[in-house]
Structure 1
Amino acid sequence: MCKHVLVFMDTTDAAMKKSCKPAMLGRIWQASRRALNLEHSPPHQFACCQWQSGHRPSTLYLTYRWLLFLTVVSIAIASFACQRLPRLYKGPKVELNYFKWFIYFTNWGYMLIALQAGLALAVVHHYRTERNLSMTCEDDVIQIPRRQKTPMLCRMYWLTHNVATDLAFVITLVYWTLVHDPRIHEVNALNLLVHGGNSVVMLCELALTAHPVRAAHALYGAGAGFAYGLFSAFYWAVGGTDRLGLPSIYPSLDWNKPGSAFGFVALCAVVMIFAHGIATFLAILRLRLASRLRPKSPHLDRLALPTH
């Protein structure tokens, strides 16, 4: 009798362990999906400043959005139009190809900054002109539904904002530590704006925006780094050269030495994850500071966690 009971208990425990494993994996998968998704409620936070009152985007914040967008786009256009060979360059004569502006990682990052600025402006205009923010007002208290589907425009803005922030920090660090050569590169206003002003812009964005920065979204920035690495490898494979006619876009990204090139890409991806960690910390710091200085602010989001 006891033997049968023990056998039954053993088989039951084994069955429970087998059934628990898929359930645990399912929970991990669901948690990962929730952490990586681009859902956030209430979505109108993407259109507002952390330091404003009310739920509708303020006129001052709209003015900031227009000024930032026009400034960033103007700098990008100037960077494209004012291309020239380095003043100290003494190599063979090279005919400048303006479209090679698009092969550089710095310019990829700056285009993303311009794109996120444009999307942010579109989001602000959307919620400024939308009469119904899915909210009802009763005695000056705004009741917001617990869960609202995040519009595609807000998701696109959030994604580009995350990636542009990570790229800006990494580009500034990598350029001034590994790429900049004082014998070739001039330190002028335009160089400082695209290799230092990019990080300043995204720091301002982190200080003013009301939406959270989710730690798991670091994978998107790392993915962008790997995407550029694949692009540079393909560009090298088809015989592409940099603006001086050299076979590699950057000396550290020379695919004639695939081991060191892949190691450089992997290193940049890791640094991007750390850069996103800094951005997440700064966003949390902004929220805590806002909770102390403006405890009644409608844009406090204490937990930067998925809501869907």
Structure 2
Amino acid sequence: MVSKLWCQEIGHRWRQVAKQEPPQARVLSEPKCQSYVAIWYLYYRWIIFLVWAAFVICSVFEFGSYKPLMQYEKWPIYLTNWDIALGFTQALIGGILVSKRWRLQKISGFDPCNLKLESTERLYWFLYVVTTNMAIGVTVCYWLTVYNPAIHQVDPLNIMMHVCNTVLMLIDLLVTNIPFRLRNFWWCLSIVMFYVIFSVIYYLAGGLDKYGYHYIYKILDWKKPLRTSLVCIGGFTFVTVLHCITCLLANIRDRIYRKTIEKINKPVQIKMNDKPLPEKPTEVV
């Protein structure tokens, strides 16, 4: 009986989540702390883009690596680089949207509430959520399951690809006003599933990694299909849980900003029951 009621409650909450309306387009182009685009935020968004561009350049040409292998053709096969490419793309679109908003708000009578959630805005929202989840997921999975001191160097490039990406997205998550919703868990999950399919095709085609092994990652060695399938199922579960965690972080962010704004805007209330101090009688000399 208790289990039945519990399942009904979960179903009720999930239906409520599913009925959420799409976000206003304005939230995708303004910071969390302001309802308009200030000059600092315009600079900030393009700085974020330049950082992602630096990530791409360094990863492709292996700048910062102690032992560069110079196998540029292998760059697209790694999930880390998929995350870098997605991060670069979302940062570029974000910079364009904020620049557009910056120009529009200079027009007399401009109302940001009239902005429409078109395909570009929806793509940016999708890429931002996916990049945030993947950045954290790549960092956790790399250091727990992929990193091997015998072949991997803890060099500046490795730190950049598997630490700085997560730090960058977490900082950006606190600054932006982009919503995270539980029902969108399948966004990142679909990218990971697509990567798994790619890894199978790459294996069947005889593809090798940068070190000459017949797999991309050792944990995705399809010579052991049962074990690798279980790893993939665990990965899908991890990505889903990770999305829930990022939604929680976004919710905490929203609560903190909301309470801060309420505290700042709260008018000073004068207690009506406070009695005025009695006037000191004037002494007549």
- With normalisation by structure 2, the TM-score equals 0.80
- 1:218 Cα deviation after fit: 1.1
What is the aligned counterpart of 2:98 among 124, 127, 130?
Answer: 124
2:193 to 206, 212, 226: 226
**1:44 corresponds to:** 26
**Cα offset for 1:196?**
0.8
Q: Percent identity?
A: 28
Counterpart-to-counterpart distance in 1, 2:64 and 2:74: 12
| Higher relative contact order, chain-length normalized (CA < 8 Å, sep 6+) | 1
Alignment partner for residue 111 of structure 1, among 85, 94, 107?
Answer: 85
Change (3 A) 1:132 1:85: closer
- Partners in 1 of 2:208 and 2:126 — Cα distance? 31
Partner of residue 181 from structure 2, selected from 214, 237, 245: 214
The equivalent of 2:47 in structure 1 is: 67
Unaligned runs of 5+ in 1: 1-26, 90-94, 298-308
The CA distance in 1 between the partners of 2:201 and 2:13, in whole Å, is 35
Kindly tell me: are residues 33 and 186 of structure 1, through their superposed partners in 2, closer, same or farther at Cα, counting changes over 3 Å? same
Alignment partner of 1:76 out of 36, 49, 56: 56
Q: 1:82 to 1:211 in 2, by over 3 A?
A: closer
**Residue pair 2:189, 2:240 contacting (<8 A) in 1 also:** yes
Distance 2:130 2:51 in 1: 20
How far apart, in 2, do the equivalents of 1:231 and 1:32 lie? 32
Aligned residue in 2 for 1:241: 208
What is the match of residue 300 of structure 1?
A: none
Secondary structure of the corresponding residue to residue 262 of structure 2: coil
**1:25-174 alignment runs, 5 A limit:** 34=19, 39-41=22-24, 43-52=25-34, 55-82=35-62, 87=67, 96-131=70-105, 144=113, 149-174=116-141
- Aligned-residue CA RMSD in angstroms? 3.0
Query: What is the total number of aligned residue pairs between the two structures?
Result: 254
Q: Is the 8 A contact 1:175 1:195 kept in 2?
A: yes
Local SS of the residue matching 2:160: helix
In the TM superposition, residue 211 of structure 1 has moved relative to its aligned partner by: 2.3
1:97 deviation in Å?
2.7
User: Which whole-Å deviations, capped at 9, do the CAs of 1:258-296 have from their partners, x for residues lacking one?
Assistant: 112222222111111111111111111111111121239
Change (3 A) 1:28 1:286: closer
Separation in 2, partners of 1:253, 1:71: 30
For 2:239, the equivalent position in structure 1 comes to: 272
Which residue of the partner structure matches residue 251 of structure 2? 284
Deviations 1:81-136 (A, max 9, x none): 0279974x9xxxxx853120110011111111111111111110121122589x96
- In the aligned structure 1, how far is the partner of 2:96 from the partner of 2:64? 34
> What is the CA-CA distance between 1:56 and the residue it aligns to?
2.9
Q: Deviation per CA, 1:152-201, whole angstroms, max 9, x where unpaired?
A: 11101100011111111111011001100111111011111110111111
Q: Distance in 2 between matches of 1:144 and 1:63?
A: 23
Aligned to 2:154: 187
Shift of the 182–127 alpha-carbon distance from structure 1 to 2, 3 Å rule, reads same
Tell me the distance in 1 between the aligned counterparts of 2:95 and 2:65.
Answer: 35
Q: Which residue of 2 aligns with 1:260?
A: 227
What is the DSSP-based 3-state SS (H/G/I as helix, E as strand, rest coil) of the residue aligned with 1:290? helix
Does the 8 Å CA contact 1:86/1:184 hold for their aligned counterparts? no
Query: What amino acid is aligned across from residue 40 of structure 1 in structure 2?
Result: P
User: Structure 2 counterpart of 1:256, which letter?
Assistant: K
Is the contact made by 2:132 and 2:166 (CA closer than 8 Å) also made in structure 1? yes
Q: Contact (CA 8 Å) 2:27, 2:178: kept in 1 or not?
A: yes
Determine the C-alpha separation between the residues in 2 that align with 1:132 and 1:61: 15
When residues 83 and 257 of structure 1 are mapped into structure 2, their CA distance, relative to the original with a 3 A threshold, is farther
Residue 212 of structure 1 aligns to a residue whose secondary structure is coil
